[in-house]
Amino acid sequence: MRELAPAKLNLCLLIGPTREDGRHELLSVMAPITLCDLLELSDGERDEVHCPGVEGPNLVERALAGFRAATGWAGPPQRIEITKRIPVAAGLGGGSADAAAALRLLARRSGRRERAPLLALAAELGSDVASQLEPARAIVRGGGESVERLADGPPFGVLVLPAQAELSTAAVYREADRLGSPRSAQALAALDPLAVGALNDLQAAARSLEPTIAAALELATAAGAREALVAGSGPTVIGLFDRPQAAVAAAAALLADGVAAIAARPFPRAGASLG
């Protein structure tokens, strides 16, 4: 069984105070895009996750163990093979996308597709997993566990400029706290995320930790993007275009100049689901 795991864009990302569980309150409009990892699920000799080129613990391992614990499924050992295309530690939610895709695969494999336990497990795994369990444009609140699905917006193009560096999400949030970036709870609650446009409250912190981001933002703007911003906690930079074809042309021009660039568009709503 195979499943695509689409990267997510924070079309806006507004950060509030730290909660008792250590996470920050957030308010974001998220959208999945066609830059995807691929997961393949098969019976194995033991539960295991294989992700070539990525070292260390994998969130998919926790998703697999958590799924068994949450649902009581005692099916045969499962092997999950991950083919990575989403840059690692880049602000595009690759690890969370993979964990969400693993839950979709396991739900199909086991026949246990009840949404409530899967959503609860996704929220425990990480702030981005719940919003990617059924990839679609959505407003995300709280620590990521509150997900309000939205109708598809107009088509648009995305220019993705991967960085050589990696940034720890936790480190970027610590830097945002040091810079005084988080908003008060009252200020966060007063905002309409659909009206604020392309705004990322973590951008200053990411730029502080990774100075090359500034040049990437300029490059995206020079390539014709109507908006350029840091993706999530960075260091990836994205450029937004009104037409998907314009993003494709911009990426092709940059690749011809030897600059790493990827063109993407919104991920189709029916492309990955629990159904």
Catalytic residues: 8, 128
Residue 250 main-chain phi, psi, to 5 deg: -65, -45
Contacts of 86 (CB under 8 A, 6+ apart): 5, 7, 35, 36, 37, 92, 93, 94, 97
Using the 8-state DSSP alphabet, how is residue 211 labeled?
T
One-letter amino acid for residue 150 of the chain: L
Q: Are 39 and 2 in contact (CB under 8 A)?
A: yes
Give yes or no for a cis peptide into 244 (omega within 30° of 0).
Answer: no
Report d(CA 172, CA 230) in Å as an integer: 12
Q: Do 26 and 58 form a contact (C-beta atoms < 8 A)? A: no
Q: What is the Cα–Cα distance from 87 to 269, expressed in whole angstroms? A: 22
Classified as helix, coil or strand, 111 is coil
| CA 25 to chain CA centroid, nearest Å | 17
